Chain A
């Protein structure tokens, strides 16, 4: 299919979105990531029954924390896709990139630069 999407997206493979610890999300932002999203199976079709539902809850929890500390919860998202939806995958990559562009870079990066300067 080879639909083009922005190159700023790097994929990390996990056996199930249920394996994605909330700490993975938080720590990535701590290290300077601008945005993170999880792509799981369609709801009700999790290969491991309900890992994707747990993942969604964790993303929601991470969003709350990120909002509280001024990083912006919108930077973390959860999507559900089937393996036959390559087009949507590309659309989501574009959507996510646009979303992050709008919000701007991870504020920690700017703050850190200020400290250094």
Chain B
């Protein structure tokens, strides 16, 4: 209700400034009235014009009137003017003729209008690199050379080949597929981009794993790469699974040319392997792992908005303000900022919303729309009076199912007092009529037989609530998606099935009773746990929006891991930033900082938590009531046990080297060796620590700048300078920093000597051992989570095996935790850069605002309910609940807090005493459907 979606619209001009922008928009015609379109698809079926389908990567055809893909929002058809016959020669209008809801508006015109907004968020995304611009990849020469996006569609069950993995040229199952990485990325040649696209390594592994699963015969999947960059949270484990379990071959080499073999449809790839041997291999298919790049439309938009772009045409931002563009009040999120994956994009988007929210905090709720709800009628003493509304959905249902006979049948069912058919039950006029019928007939249970509850249930429920009925006195059956659409070639069976579905719904209708949704108040105070960069940013963002914050830190001072950092790789001064941040936090009247504090107790649920802490050297106890909590407990640099660390003071970590360079410069340094992946990507910590490659390169460049003749060696496994960081890797090589790769099972060896630390390692190119005597051996020690075992057990929060907190959903909810009202950010969630911590902190604050900005919260009534008399206090619900909600109370029976229950129903189906029921899904409310369906079968 409070999001207005303007599709097919373009920003023409923007005037004004932060807090008061005037945006001139041009909306191009869709030629379909979105209010009327019911997405039945008849227009598309009848449209005579076939057009190449861009969504299916041009592998299939669509019509000139279409929806881009099945999950499109809004799910409304649109006419592609450039291809429509009517717009070419003025004839056809098949869509208009057949549309059952008169939604086609062929005379629709472009509209220019102005919207007034306080902030603007740019989320224009990116596009895939077009390998056709480089003829060396042979793209376009052979149908069996495809881009990764095309391959993605080929694997999709709803894609052009129905999910059967076949070679495009002859539809035979491939036996060998090669993926070539860095197509259009990490390449400074004409037409390509110098940066790393960040996402291609992980998606190539995913595609190769899926391809192997799709193949009947064992598939040889080979990935040709320069560095495998699986730096995302838990992605390294995914890489290992692909390599060790799925058996994907990883070949470290860059392929510069593909030769299509015309007679066999295969492609020849020539390369030099790790041992220097020249190899020729033929593959049935080659997948080009294409990178991401800025869209021209976004570049044009940036020009209109007068915001700065960087040299790669991404929106220019800074280390400490990663979501802010160069113009105040305009924010950026997602891949228009830099190439990034879904979780990072989702984090950015919440962060941008958080910043926009801070800036507009004063005017919050001023334009918000709300709905009036009438008082509920008590129907609990009435016998069921069921009304059945059967939708024809134009011809969508009625074209297959004999709707009048379904209505007649419905009238014969028990408790049914009224049944009718509607052309479109969801249309505004049908809804109004339905309201009248409900009142006239004193209907107290409403059944709608129409389309999917997923899209329409809420519309009908709102309608019955407007009549004073309880929202749980409603049942819907899907006689379109589950019937007329999928049984269109057997109308008799479809009609029979529609009757059965209605019979089942009516049976359930009679068992439904009113349920009361609990309204809980929300304590509008937030608890932020951890006073590092992430915690402080989250606290400030919330405080700026007018919420009171208690920030607790276990150390004496705020600052966290950033206290040890000197500068970012971009050259920004971390200490200056941190001091400023600490000063802002300490002086903010809404933030109370409690240092040297420990959490000792925790209870409550979303909106109403109570945390007990022990504060300060005096160890006084304090109870804090708060509505949300943000976990920002941070991480530390790993303390190495390897490579003489702690035994020879010439062996230091990257953080120590930064300090050393700041204090003493590089004058004494003639030779420095750095070893990557110390304490990461090994057995005890299988994950990549994400930040160590850039720490090493940052420090190496610093040494070279201080003392150009110093020799710096970096011994690495894969250099993971993802995104725009790649530029620094290229700079490091230009400055003469020397990179050697080593194998995990052939680690460098180190010895102390008077002259220095002697480091011995294997060089793969020359095939012999190298020895360097270093003044300093610098270990790129990984990132280890802060010890949060106790806090996690007190708050009942999930952590992964490495001790990082788990988000509720890796991709879709990257800052929410499984327990509602608790959010995670910064390195507590996984290793990340300062800029990434900041954006995640803003995202956590933004998500927290969705609770804090409201005074109360209405809970779903679909929760589990215990019958005390039947409960055997066996603990099985306690043990089986995925969210640890049930507990045995003082009465000795199970109690399930409705504010914490997620409504999955696992406890109800596991209870050995059958003492638990899930509201709205009680056993008889489900089994009555089975009984109704099978009545008379025996």
Task: State the A residues within 8 Å of B (CB).
Answer: 1-5, 7-8, 10-16, 18-24, 27-28, 31-33, 47-51, 54, 58, 84-88, 90, 108-109, 112
On whether A2 and B930 interact (CB within 8 A), knowing A7-B496, A16-B904, A54-B910, the answer reads: no
The stretch from B286-294, B419-427, B919-927 touching chain A is: B919-927
Is there contact, CB below 8 Å, between B906 and A24? no
Q: A2-B485, A109-B937 are in contact. Are A86 and B158 (CB under 8 A)?
A: yes
Residue of A nearest to B501 (CB): A10
* Whole-angstrom CA separation of A46 from B630 in the bound complex: 25
Q: When the two chains form their complex, are residues A18 and B904 in contact, meaning their CB atoms are under 8 A apart?
A: yes
A50 and B488 CA atoms in complex are apart in Å by: 36
The 5 A-B pairs at the shortest CB distance, nearest first, are namely A19-B905, A32-B937, A48-B904, A49-B882, A7-B493
Give Cα distance in the complex from A3 to B500, angstroms: 21
Decide yes or no whether B417 CB sits under 8 A from chain A: no
Q: Are A54 and B927 in contact (CB under 8 A)?
A: no
The answer to whether B862 and A15 have CB atoms under 8 Å apart is yes
- What separation, in Å, do the CA atoms of A88 and B41 have in the docked complex? 21
Known: A1-B70, A108-B938. A24 touches B926 (CB 8 A): yes
Complex-state Cα separation, A48 to B880, whole angstroms = 12
Cα-based distance from A82 to B387 in the complex (angstroms): 34
Residue total for B at the interface (Cβ-Cβ under 8 A): 50
Is B921 touching A15 in the complex (CB atoms < 8 A)?
yes
Q: How far is the CB of A96 from chain B (nearest CB, A)?
A: 14
User: What are 29 residue pairs bridging A and B, where the CB atoms are less than 8 Å apart in the complex?
Assistant: A4-B488, A7-B490, A7-B496, A10-B933, A11-B478, A12-B930, A18-B906, A19-B904, A20-B909, A21-B923, A22-B909, A24-B923, A28-B930, A28-B934, A31-B930, A32-B938, A33-B937, A48-B902, A49-B882, A50-B882, A51-B882, A51-B906, A54-B880, A54-B906, A84-B71, A84-B157, A87-B158, A90-B486, A112-B938
Shortest CB-to-CB span from B684 to chain A, Å, is: 24
User: In whole angstroms, what is the CA distance A112 to B937 when docked?
Assistant: 10
Q: State the Cβ distance, A52 to closest chain B Cβ, in Å.
A: 10
Judge whether B717 is part of the interface by a CB distance below 8 angstroms.
no
B903 at interface by CB-CB < 8 Å = yes
Distance of B476 from chain A, by nearest CB (Å): 9
Separation of A27 and B723 alpha carbons in the complex (Å):
57
Asked if B921 and A18 sit within 8 Å, CB to CB, the answer is: no
Chain A residues within 8 Å of B487, by CB: 4-5, 7
What is the chain A residue whose CB lies nearest that of B930?
A28
A19 to chain B, nearest CB (A): 3
- CB contact list, B476-490 vs A, under 8 A: 478, 482-483, 485-490
For B880, the chain A residues whose CB sits under 8 A away are 54
B157 touches A86 (CB 8 A): yes
If A7-B494, A19-B904 touch, does A27 touch B927 (CB 8 Å cutoff)? Answer: yes
Residues of A within 8 A of B140 (CB): none
In whole Å, how far is B611's beta carbon from the nearest beta carbon of chain A?
25
CB-based contact A87/B163 at 8 Å = yes
Distance (whole angstroms) from the CB of A71 to the closest CB of chain B = 13
Partner of B882, one of A27, A31, A48, A58: A48
A23 contacts which chain B residues (CB < 8 A)?
923
Contact of A24 among B494, B927, B934 (CB under 8 A): B927
Q: Which residue of A lies closest to B934 (CB)?
A: A31
Name the CB-closest residue of A to B798: A49
Q: For residue B921, which residues in chain A have a CB less than 8 angstroms away from its CB?
A: 14-15, 19
Mark each residue of chain B from 113 to 156: 1 if its CB lies under 8 Å from any CB of chain A, else 0. Answer: 00000000000000000000000000000000000000000001
What residues on B are CB-neighbors of A109 within 8 Å? 937-938
Q: Does B448 contact A (CB under 8 A)?
A: no
- Report whether B158 and A84 are in contact in the complex, using a CB–CB cutoff of 8 Å: yes
The residue on B at minimum CB distance from A105 is B937
Contact of B497 among A7, A16, A31, A51 (CB under 8 A): A7
Please report the C-alpha to C-alpha distance between residue A15 and residue B938 in the assembled complex, in whole angstroms.
29
Least CB distance, B246 to chain A, in whole angstroms? 15
Taken together as a complex, chains A and B put the C-alpha atoms of A22 and B912 apart, in Å, by 11
The residues of B that contact A8 with a CB separation of less than 8 Å are 493
A15, B927: Cβ atoms closer than 8 Å = no
Contact digits for B480-524, partner A, Cβ 8 Å, 1 yes 0 no: 001101111110011011001100100000000000000000000
Interface residues of B in 449-495 (CB under 8 A from A): 453, 478, 482-483, 485-490, 493-494
> Which residues of the other chain, A, contact B904 by a CB distance below 8 angstroms?
15-16, 18-19, 47-48, 51
Alpha-carbon separation in the docked complex, A4 to B923 (Å): 31
Closest B residue to A50 by beta carbon equals B882
Q: A48-B904, A85-B157 are in contact. Are A18 and B934 (CB under 8 A)?
A: no
**Least CB distance, B216 to chain A, in whole angstroms:** 15
Closest residue of chain A to B492 (Cβ to Cβ) is A7
- Interchain CA distance A54-B910 in the complex, whole Å: 9
Given known contacts A2-B485, A31-B937, A87 and B162 CB-to-CB distance under 8 angstroms: yes
B62 within 8 A of partner (CB)? no
Smallest CB–CB gap between B914 and chain A, Å? Answer: 9
